[in-house]
Structure 1
Amino acid sequence: MSGEDSECMERKKVYVARDLSNLRVVDFPLWKIQTLAQLGDEAFAAKMLVASAGDPFDTSTPESALGDLHELEEEAGAAFDPSQWVLLSDESGEIGVVLPQVSDADPRSGILSYLAVMPARRGHGLGRQLHQFGLQRLKELGAVNYRGSTDAENAAMLAIFRANSCRVDPVHG
């Protein structure tokens, strides 16, 4: 087993949950939404790759980005809807991507398959807002609860979870 393999095996995940019934709705009137359905797989995968740049918890490469997107699509199962996976922008440019997905097995439960802020836009609270946007989309899709996870060392994502009232999932964490 290579050192890289053992490092991956040693990583610990943190799981969170949130009841969406009391989600405070926020308006994002100046955000432009472009969907995977509009952009197509190749262009969307390229945007995801840009958003993941510098993220030590993301392993996508230019060679794997499209395959990584296809893997996420397959994992979504029959509930996959490319009109819900979005690239968000504002007057200052692209903000990031968020992939809200209701569970194939239980449409009352949702996840965000992926969330990333463009490198030039990091450090300004936009990750929290992207996450909030994704939670709202899940609620609009009929989800009543959210489940998320991240690497235990991913301080930025853990802060986003806390800011959006996510709690450690008692089932997993």
Structure 2
Amino acid sequence: MKLFSTIKKEKEYWLVDQVKRAQAHERDYEEEFQGLLKDWNDQEVDYLSLLMDDTYEARLVKKGFHKVSVIVEYTLDLNTIQRQKSDISPFVLAACEMSDETFANLYEQCRSGSANKNNLFTIDQIMESFELELGPNWRYHCMIFQKEGEPVGISIPHIEPGMRGEGRLFYFGILPEWRDKGMGTVCHQHTLDALKEFGATYYVGSTDAANEAMIRIFEKNGCVLRDRKGIYRIDRLSTV
């Protein structure tokens, strides 16, 4: 029974997310995480970023972690959504003339001024991570939203590895000049449609608990609060 999902980049980072299972006990999580933490330390990776229930916070702090922020998770049954008409057109990077460099620039603009506190990577590191986390066809996951020929925002939907039918977003963002105009809700609807086309049966979206704009988008599109987790980080020079 897998209790943590992990994305690894050799010697640089591990991104670890607690998988909550009804049949698992605290002891099960403690034992598996202790083994995972030992492996991370033995392999001399620079840092580990962890999403975990904050009931474990005191124990994590004792192990050398510090708290970065809190995220909220929302979920939606994708069988309940209906395709919406809008004047926003979605395109995928693989099927348009936009260069990777232009897409990276859009990504950087979309995350400027974000309420999310867990900005781990530079834009170059993010672009490098696409193939690692999304596979060689990553450009088919990168959506660009346009209104009257002008970019509005971007989204990167995918199926969560090892989680059958679970749709997630690697990233979702709206350009600063288009915020507070209802564009986020519409672009998010298009993204949910894309997840359904990918074969997802349900959606799990997460954002920083302080990101009120994204939480409003979740709620307007019918998503319901599922969970809260702390974001914790430990660096290799810390004591484990």
Please state which band the TM-score falls in when normalised by the shorter chain: 0.7 to 0.9
Structure with higher Rg: it is: 2
2:177 paired with 1:120: yes
Do the aligned residues in 2 keep the contact of 1:100 with 1:112 (CA within 8 Å)? yes
What number of residue pairs does the alignment pair up? 163
Letter in 2 for 1:42: E
- Which residue of 152, 172, 179 maps to 1:95? 152
Matches of 2:229 and 2:91, distance apart in 1: 33
2:41 paired with 1:41: no
What's the % identity of the aligned pairs?
28
**Range that drifts further, 155-164 or 65-74:** 65-74
TM superposition score normalised by structure 1: 0.81
2:173 partner SS: strand
Q: 1:43-82 counterparts in 2 under 5 A?
A: 43-57=102-116, 59=119, 64-77=122-135, 81-82=138-139
Q: Deviations over 1:16-58 (max 9, x none)?
A: 1110011121134x43444232434322111111122222426
Matches of 2:133 and 2:125, distance apart in 1: 12
* Alignment correspondent of 1:21: 79
- The Cα RMSD (Å) is 2.7
Unaligned runs of 5+ in 2: 1-60, 231-240
TM superposition score normalised by structure 2: 0.60
CA shift for structure 1 position 106: 3.2
2:207 paired with 1:150: yes
Matches of 1:131 and 1:141, distance apart in 2: 15
* Alignment correspondent of 1:137: 194
Do the aligned residues in 2 keep the contact of 1:17 with 1:166 (CA within 8 Å)? yes
1:24 partner SS: coil
1:12 partner SS: strand
When you count strand as a share of all residues, which structure comes out higher? 2
Do the aligned residues in 2 keep the contact of 1:103 with 1:111 (CA within 8 Å)? yes
Matches of 1:22 and 1:144, distance apart in 2: 10
Matches of 1:117 and 1:104, distance apart in 2: 26
Matches of 1:41 and 1:134, distance apart in 2: 20
- Which residue of 165, 169, 192 maps to 1:108? 165
